[in-house]
Protein backbone atom coordinates (compact mmCIF):
# COMPACT_ATOMS: atom_id res chain seq x y z
CA UNK A 1 0.00 0.00 0.00
CA UNK A 2 2.79 2.42 0.93
CA UNK A 3 4.56 1.48 -2.30
CA UNK A 4 1.41 2.33 -4.27
CA UNK A 5 1.26 5.78 -2.67
CA UNK A 6 4.93 6.41 -3.41
CA UNK A 7 4.42 5.43 -7.06
CA UNK A 8 1.40 7.74 -7.34
CA UNK A 9 3.26 10.61 -5.70
CA UNK A 10 6.17 9.85 -8.01
CA UNK A 11 3.92 10.12 -11.04
CA UNK A 12 2.57 13.45 -9.80
CA UNK A 13 6.14 14.62 -9.33
CA UNK A 14 6.97 13.60 -12.88
CA UNK A 15 3.93 15.51 -14.17
CA UNK A 16 4.98 18.62 -12.28
CA UNK A 17 8.58 18.29 -13.45
CA UNK A 18 7.41 18.04 -17.06
CA UNK A 19 5.29 21.16 -16.61
CA UNK A 20 7.86 23.14 -14.67
CA UNK A 21 11.07 22.49 -16.50
CA UNK A 22 12.64 23.41 -19.81
CA UNK A 23 15.56 25.55 -20.92
CA UNK A 24 16.68 27.73 -18.01
CA UNK A 25 19.39 30.29 -17.35
CA UNK A 26 20.83 28.65 -14.24
CA UNK A 27 21.01 25.29 -12.52
CA UNK A 28 18.94 24.70 -9.40
CA UNK A 29 19.24 22.27 -6.51
CA UNK A 30 16.71 21.74 -3.74
CA UNK A 31 16.06 19.32 -0.92
CA UNK A 32 12.74 18.35 0.63
CA UNK A 33 11.85 16.20 3.63
CA UNK A 34 9.20 13.60 2.77
CA UNK A 35 7.35 12.12 5.76
CA UNK A 36 4.79 9.30 5.56
CA UNK A 37 2.32 8.70 8.39
CA UNK A 38 -0.66 6.42 8.95
CA UNK A 39 -0.92 2.66 8.80
CA UNK A 40 1.31 0.42 10.91
CA UNK A 41 4.50 2.45 10.63
CA UNK A 42 5.72 5.84 9.50
CA UNK A 43 8.83 6.81 7.59
CA UNK A 44 10.82 9.81 6.42
CA UNK A 45 13.40 10.46 3.74
CA UNK A 46 15.15 13.37 2.05
CA UNK A 47 14.29 13.96 -1.60
CA UNK A 48 17.00 15.74 -3.60
CA UNK A 49 16.25 17.45 -6.92
CA UNK A 50 18.92 18.60 -9.38
CA UNK A 51 17.64 20.80 -12.20
CA UNK A 52 19.76 21.86 -15.16
CA UNK A 53 19.14 23.49 -18.52
CA UNK A 54 18.55 20.18 -20.28
CA UNK A 55 17.79 17.55 -17.64
CA UNK A 56 16.67 16.85 -14.10
CA UNK A 57 17.54 14.30 -11.43
CA UNK A 58 15.46 13.28 -8.40
CA UNK A 59 16.99 11.15 -5.63
CA UNK A 60 14.52 9.51 -3.27
CA UNK A 61 15.60 6.74 -0.91
CA UNK A 62 17.34 4.06 -2.98
CA UNK A 63 15.80 5.31 -6.21
CA UNK A 64 17.09 7.85 -8.73
CA UNK A 65 15.08 9.27 -11.63
CA UNK A 66 16.78 11.18 -14.44
CA UNK A 67 14.86 12.94 -17.22
CA UNK A 68 16.69 13.97 -20.39
CA UNK A 69 14.56 16.74 -21.93
CA UNK A 70 16.50 16.79 -25.18
CA UNK A 71 15.77 13.13 -25.93
CA UNK A 72 12.58 13.01 -23.82
CA UNK A 73 13.75 9.84 -22.06
CA UNK A 74 13.48 9.05 -18.35
CA UNK A 75 15.89 6.73 -16.55
CA UNK A 76 15.11 4.90 -13.30
CA UNK A 77 18.31 3.95 -11.45
CA UNK A 78 18.82 1.47 -8.61
CA UNK A 79 22.21 2.42 -7.07
CA UNK A 80 22.18 -0.63 -4.78
CA UNK A 81 21.84 -3.17 -7.60
CA UNK A 82 23.60 -0.92 -10.15
CA UNK A 83 20.76 -1.36 -12.64
CA UNK A 84 18.62 1.04 -14.64
CA UNK A 85 15.52 1.05 -16.81
CA UNK A 86 14.34 3.65 -19.27
CA UNK A 87 11.11 4.97 -20.77
CA UNK A 88 10.79 6.94 -24.00
CA UNK A 89 8.45 9.75 -22.94
CA UNK A 90 7.58 10.38 -26.58
CA UNK A 91 6.00 6.92 -26.62
CA UNK A 92 4.54 7.05 -23.13
CA UNK A 93 0.99 7.27 -24.47
CA UNK A 94 1.33 3.86 -26.11
CA UNK A 95 0.97 2.15 -22.74
CA UNK A 96 2.38 -1.24 -21.65
CA UNK A 97 3.91 -3.45 -24.36
CA UNK A 98 2.11 -6.41 -25.87
CA UNK A 99 1.53 -8.19 -29.15
CA UNK A 100 -1.12 -7.75 -31.83
CA UNK A 101 -4.61 -7.01 -30.58
CA UNK A 102 -3.41 -7.29 -26.98
CA UNK A 103 -0.98 -4.42 -27.52
CA UNK A 104 -3.72 -2.29 -29.07
CA UNK A 105 -6.14 -2.99 -26.24
CA UNK A 106 -3.53 -2.28 -23.56
CA UNK A 107 -2.56 0.94 -25.28
CA UNK A 108 -6.15 2.16 -25.45
CA UNK A 109 -6.79 1.26 -21.82
CA UNK A 110 -3.61 3.01 -20.72
CA UNK A 111 -4.42 6.16 -22.71
CA UNK A 112 -7.93 6.26 -21.28
CA UNK A 113 -6.61 5.75 -17.75
CA UNK A 114 -4.14 8.61 -18.12
CA UNK A 115 -6.78 10.85 -19.70
CA UNK A 116 -9.19 10.12 -16.85
CA UNK A 117 -6.45 10.85 -14.34
CA UNK A 118 -5.58 14.22 -15.87
CA UNK A 119 -9.24 15.17 -16.46
CA UNK A 120 -9.96 14.49 -12.79
CA UNK A 121 -7.50 17.14 -11.55
CA UNK A 122 -9.20 19.96 -9.66
CA UNK A 123 -7.16 22.95 -8.44
CA UNK A 124 -8.89 25.18 -5.86
CA UNK A 125 -7.23 28.20 -4.19
CA UNK A 126 -8.08 28.52 -0.48
CA UNK A 127 -8.10 31.73 1.57
CA UNK A 128 -5.55 30.43 4.07
CA UNK A 129 -1.94 31.46 4.63
CA UNK A 130 0.94 30.47 6.89
CA UNK A 131 4.73 30.62 7.04
CA UNK A 132 6.55 27.40 6.14
CA UNK A 133 10.33 26.96 5.95
CA UNK A 134 10.69 30.74 6.16
CA UNK A 135 8.35 31.48 3.23
CA UNK A 136 4.93 33.14 3.31
CA UNK A 137 2.72 30.47 1.75
CA UNK A 138 -0.89 30.25 0.68
CA UNK A 139 -2.93 27.08 0.36
CA UNK A 140 -4.16 25.50 -2.87
CA UNK A 141 -6.19 22.27 -2.76
CA UNK A 142 -5.56 19.73 -5.53
CA UNK A 143 -7.74 16.66 -6.13
CA UNK A 144 -6.86 13.86 -8.53
CA UNK A 145 -9.02 10.74 -8.65
CA UNK A 146 -8.84 9.16 -5.15
CA UNK A 147 -6.06 11.44 -3.94
CA UNK A 148 -6.33 14.85 -2.25
CA UNK A 149 -3.41 17.22 -1.65
CA UNK A 150 -2.80 20.52 0.08
CA UNK A 151 -0.21 22.60 -1.78
CA UNK A 152 1.35 25.41 0.24
CA UNK A 153 2.94 27.63 -2.40
CA UNK A 154 5.03 30.80 -2.40
CA UNK A 155 6.22 33.20 -5.09
CA UNK A 156 9.18 34.16 -2.91
CA UNK A 157 11.13 30.94 -3.48
CA UNK A 158 14.32 31.64 -5.50
CA UNK A 159 13.99 30.42 -9.08
CA UNK A 160 10.19 30.37 -9.21
CA UNK A 161 9.81 33.22 -11.69
CA UNK A 162 12.36 31.57 -13.96
CA UNK A 163 10.49 28.27 -13.83
CA UNK A 164 7.24 30.04 -14.62
CA UNK A 165 8.73 31.92 -17.55
CA UNK A 166 10.01 28.80 -19.31
CA UNK A 167 6.89 26.64 -18.73
CA UNK A 168 5.50 27.79 -22.09
CA UNK A 169 8.57 26.38 -23.84
CA UNK A 170 7.86 22.97 -22.34
CA UNK A 171 4.26 23.14 -23.55
CA UNK A 172 5.59 23.63 -27.09
CA UNK A 173 7.82 20.55 -26.72
CA UNK A 174 4.87 18.41 -25.69
CA UNK A 175 2.47 19.42 -28.46
CA UNK A 176 3.37 16.36 -30.51
CA UNK A 177 2.33 13.98 -27.73
CA UNK A 178 -1.41 14.18 -26.90
CA UNK A 179 -1.05 12.58 -23.48
CA UNK A 180 1.86 14.72 -22.33
CA UNK A 181 0.10 17.75 -23.79
CA UNK A 182 -2.90 16.80 -21.66
CA UNK A 183 -0.65 17.02 -18.61
CA UNK A 184 0.37 20.53 -19.58
CA UNK A 185 -3.23 21.53 -20.27
CA UNK A 186 -4.00 20.76 -16.64
CA UNK A 187 -2.40 24.18 -16.03
CA UNK A 188 -0.89 23.14 -12.72
CA UNK A 189 1.87 25.74 -12.66
CA UNK A 190 -0.35 28.68 -13.57
CA UNK A 191 -3.09 27.58 -11.19
CA UNK A 192 -0.72 27.00 -8.30
CA UNK A 193 1.00 30.33 -9.05
CA UNK A 194 3.84 29.58 -6.67
CA UNK A 195 6.59 27.10 -5.82
CA UNK A 196 5.28 24.14 -3.75
CA UNK A 197 7.02 24.72 -0.40
CA UNK A 198 4.96 21.99 1.24
CA UNK A 199 2.67 19.33 -0.22
CA UNK A 200 0.42 17.23 2.01
CA UNK A 201 -1.10 14.27 0.15
CA UNK A 202 -3.87 12.07 1.55
CA UNK A 203 -4.49 8.67 -0.04
CA UNK A 204 -5.31 5.13 1.10
CA UNK A 205 -5.44 6.07 4.81
CA UNK A 206 -1.93 7.44 4.67
CA UNK A 207 -0.53 10.96 4.55
CA UNK A 208 2.65 11.98 2.73
CA UNK A 209 4.04 15.41 3.67
CA UNK A 210 6.84 16.87 1.54
CA UNK A 211 8.46 20.09 2.85
CA UNK A 212 11.13 22.19 1.16
CA UNK A 213 14.32 22.32 3.26
CA UNK A 214 16.61 24.39 1.06
CA UNK A 215 16.98 25.60 -2.52
CA UNK A 216 19.96 27.18 -4.23
CA UNK A 217 21.34 28.16 -7.62
CA UNK A 218 24.63 26.48 -8.42
CA UNK A 219 26.49 24.89 -11.30
CA UNK A 220 25.73 21.17 -11.60
CA UNK A 221 28.06 18.54 -13.04
CA UNK A 222 26.65 17.03 -16.25
CA UNK A 223 27.57 13.56 -14.95
CA UNK A 224 24.61 13.82 -12.57
CA UNK A 225 22.30 13.39 -15.56
CA UNK A 226 24.02 10.37 -17.09
CA UNK A 227 23.62 6.66 -16.38
CA UNK A 228 26.87 5.70 -14.58
CA UNK A 229 29.22 3.29 -16.30
CA UNK A 230 28.93 -0.26 -15.01
CA UNK A 231 25.14 -0.15 -14.66
CA UNK A 232 23.11 -2.95 -16.29
CA UNK A 233 19.88 -2.18 -18.12
CA UNK A 234 16.79 -4.10 -17.01
CA UNK A 235 13.19 -4.04 -18.15
CA UNK A 236 11.03 -1.27 -16.78
CA UNK A 237 8.46 -2.76 -14.33
CA UNK A 238 5.46 -1.44 -16.27
CA UNK A 239 6.67 -1.22 -19.88
CA UNK A 240 9.68 -3.36 -20.52
CA UNK A 241 12.98 -1.82 -21.52
CA UNK A 242 14.42 -1.12 -24.93
CA UNK A 243 18.08 -2.04 -24.87
CA UNK A 244 20.08 1.11 -25.50
CA UNK A 245 23.60 2.17 -24.62
CA UNK A 246 23.71 5.10 -22.14
Residue 55 in any domain: the answer is yes
Over residues 34-44, mean pLDDT:
84
Residue 114 in any domain: the answer is yes
For the purposes of burial, counting CB atoms within 10 Å of the CB of 35, is it exposed (0-12), middle (13-18) or buried (19 or more)? Answer: middle
Residue 46 in any domain: the answer is yes
79 CB-near residues (< 8 Å, 6+ apart)? 62, 64
- Asked whether residue 24 carries a pLDDT value surpassing 50, the answer given is no
Q: What value does the mean pLDDT of the chain take? A: 76
Q: Which of 20, 10, 70 is nearest to 170 (CA)?
A: 20
Name the most confidently modeled range: 26-30, 47-51, 202-206.
47-51
Over residues 8-26, mean pLDDT:
50
Residue 227 in any domain: the answer is yes
Q: What is the pLDDT at residue 114?
A: 66
Look up the domain containing 33 and give its range. 2-233
E strands in 179-221: 195-203, 206-217
Over residues 51-74, mean pLDDT:
87
Range of weakest confidence among 73-82, 109-118, 210-219, 230-239: 109-118
97 or 81: whose pLDDT is higher? 81
242 or 208: whose pLDDT is higher? 208
Residue 224 in any domain: the answer is yes
- Asked whether residue 187 carries a pLDDT value surpassing 80, the answer given is no
Instruction: Give the predicted TM-score (pTM) of the model.
Output: 0.76
Q: What is the pLDDT at residue 204?
A: 80
Over residues 26-54, mean pLDDT:
86
Q: What is the pLDDT at residue 241?
A: 43
In angstroms, rounded to a whole number, what is the distance separating the alpha carbons of residues 9 and 30?
Answer: 18
Residue 39 in any domain: the answer is yes
- Asked whether residue 145 carries a pLDDT value surpassing 50, the answer given is yes
Residue 90 in any domain: the answer is yes
Q: What is the pLDDT at residue 102?
A: 56
Handedness of CA 106, 108, 114, 120 (dihedral sign): negative
DSSP-assigned beta bridge partners for residue 241: none
Residue 242 in any domain: the answer is no
List the CATH number of the domain containing 135.
Answer: 2.50.20.10
State the total domains in the chain.
Answer: 1
Q: What is the pLDDT at residue 15?
A: 53
Q: Which of 156, 218, 221 is nearest to 30 (CA)?
A: 218
Q: What is the pLDDT at residue 188?
A: 62
Amino acid sequence: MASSIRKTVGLLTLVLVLVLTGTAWADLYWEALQETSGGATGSSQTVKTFYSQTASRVESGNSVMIIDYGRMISYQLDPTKKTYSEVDLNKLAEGPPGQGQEAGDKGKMFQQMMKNMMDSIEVTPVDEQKKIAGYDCRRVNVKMMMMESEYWVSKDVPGFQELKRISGQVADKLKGNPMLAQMTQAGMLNKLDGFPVQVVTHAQQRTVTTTLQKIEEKSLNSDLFQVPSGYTQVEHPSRGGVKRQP
